[in-house]
Amino acid sequence: MSVLNSTAARDIAHQLHPYTNAIRHEAIGPVVIERGEGVYVYDDQGRRYLEGLAGLWSVAVGFGEKRLVEAAKRQLEKLPYYHIFSHKSHMPSIALAEKLAEMTPGDLSHVFFTNSGSEANDTVVKLLWYYNNACGRPKKKKFLAREQAYHGITVASGSLTGLPNNHRDFDLPAIPVRHLTCPHYYRFGQEGETEAQFVDRLIGELEAVIAEEGAETIAAFIGEPLMSAGGVIPPPNQYWERVQAVCRCNDILIVADEVITGFGRLGTMFGSEHYNIQPDVLVLSKQINSSYQPLAAVVISDAIYKAVADNTGKIGTFGHGYTGSGHPVATAVALENIAIIEERHLVENAARMGRVLQSRLAALADHPLVGEVRGAGLIAGVELVADKSTKAKFDEPGRVGAYVFHRAHDHGLVVRAITDTIAFCPPLIITEDQIEELVSAFERTLEDTVRWIASGKPAY
């Protein structure tokens, strides 16, 4: 696009964009999205795109949902803002906390609200440090996470994240965390190793790290049920069951980061249900209100709550919170969003349409660029490789993925390139015809990519 466009020039002049090469951005400028409707968004030039990533893994009920707009309007007119510090509260936050305690798995009973998943996982770190101090275990402060995990970008949550570019030049990790091998059999299984043997090796590594660090120093194991922003990586069979068994034997809490997998993405209301995870802490955001407002939630077990509450009684307060914690507009929109998900059976739709999406993408497995197709429900990843037989990556990782990302726009499709894995995560309202449109646009993009690679031309 031309950077002479005045809107683009204004953007370049004044915004520093997340997850963006600022120098490259100065050269090509932004795609300025002006409006959305259902599974589609429209740019300021009138071009329509099927939003194959639901915004940023998050718009469950689609764009332009009038019920969410009206819910926000009603709340803005009644109580546009109030805090929940120092014994204050309001009905939207009360009702949403009650709803989340009711619908989440296990004995999760209390909710702490934040504005984003990053803040939520940052809160998890502080909360479990506080909890272990309250329980008289001051050494139990370390976390176990995984390579290629994504848990956010604050100092604490960014430390939990296992992606090099989230650490590089930020001086992270800055908290005590050990990153274990990513549970991706296609990439990290050894030659001749079965998937079951791969899981054996990962569990052996987990046990060895616990023995090395000392179980008495480890607070929690944190993981996404299905790893998302690190490349859409479903866990191997029996992985989560065995991880939990080891952690339970060593008094290590389980934190399920469901910022992306929560509220139907995998065809179950929560990813923990899909993979039989029984979390002590559940982290939610994004689809909680389809990201129409900033909101996230940390849902904790009754045992954690009681220990934390008792300690606040001893010292007089729980000295943590945000101005926007439990924001009345954000929580009111979340309640309406969850009502839509339930009334329109969008979890069931995600399961049905997920089978269609996974099947259509799996049919691309023989394409010369496709190394692996993977996913669950309405989230999928297609990993592109230089050589299918050896799984060899491209000489310049991310270059082909970047081409696909940009070229897909020309075919009216928005996707996410995670190095050279192309991610799909459409709104839960998507239909079979729209999935066909999505996959057809991607197929055309792949054919363009084959020709571009053969031509030796630089990316644009």
Of 175, 162, 259, nearest to 219 by C-alpha is: 175
* 331 is a domain residue: yes
Of 420, 450, 439, 378, nearest to 187 by C-alpha is: 420
Q: Are residues 330 and 235 in the same domain?
A: yes
Q: Which helix (H) or strand (E) holds 163?
A: none
Of 230, 209, 228, nearest to 376 by C-alpha is: 228
Q: Are residues 232 and 361 in the same domain?
A: no
* 4 is a domain residue: no
CATH number at residue 111: 3.40.640.10
Structure tokens at 412: 């009216």
Q: Are residues 255 and 371 in the same domain?
A: no
**314-324: burial string, b at 16+ Cβ within 10 Å, e else:** eeeeeeebbeb
CATH number at residue 429: 3.90.1150.10
Give the pLDDT of residue 84: 98
Q: Which residue has the tokens 């929580």?
A: 331
* 24 is a domain residue: no
Q: Are residues 88 and 171 in the same domain?
A: yes
**Contact 364/386 with Cβ under 8 angstroms?**
no
* 239 is a domain residue: yes
Q: Are residues 156 and 219 in the same domain?
A: yes
Model pLDDT for residues 45-93, shown as the tens digit of each residue: 999 999 999 999 999 999 999 999 999 999 999 999 999 999 999 999 9
Full domain range(s) for residue 97: 67-343
Please name the residues in contact with 455: beta carbons below 8 A apart, sequence gap of 6 or more: none
Q: Are residues 71 and 179 in the same domain?
A: yes
Give the pLDDT of residue 460: 59
Between CA 160 and CA 281 the distance in angstroms is 15
Between CA 338 and CA 352 the distance in angstroms is 19
- Domain boundary among the residues 315, 343, 371 is at 343
Give the pLDDT of residue 2: 47
Q: Are residues 360 and 438 in the same domain?
A: yes
Q: Are residues 157 and 298 in the same domain?
A: yes
Give the pLDDT of residue 416: 98
Give the pLDDT of residue 1: 43
* 127 is a domain residue: yes
Handedness of CA 286, 292, 294, 299 (dihedral sign): negative
Q: Are residues 57 and 109 in the same domain?
A: no
Give the pLDDT of residue 320: 98
Q: Are residues 200 and 316 in the same domain?
A: yes
Model pLDDT for residues 260-299, shown as the tens digit of each residue: 999 999 999 999 999 999 999 999 999 999 999 999 999 9
Q: Could you tell me how many helices (H) and strands (E) the chain has, helices first?
A: 17, 15
Extract the residue ranges of the chain whose pLDDT is less than 70: 1-5, 459-460
- Domain boundary among the residues 316, 343, 370 is at 343
Name the 3-class secondary structure at 453.
Answer: helix
* 21 is a domain residue: no
Between CA 199 and CA 222 the distance in angstroms is 17
Q: Which residue has the tokens 């192309």?
A: 422
Q: Are residues 402 and 371 in the same domain?
A: yes
- Domain boundary among the residues 343, 364, 396 is at 343
The strand pair at 370-376 and 379-384 is best described as: antiparallel
Structure tokens at 133: 């101090």
* 5 is a domain residue: no
* 6 is a domain residue: no
Q: Are residues 295 and 164 in the same domain?
A: yes
Domains of the chain: total: 2
SS (H, E, C) 325-339: CCCHHHHHHHHHHHH
Give the pLDDT of residue 5: 63
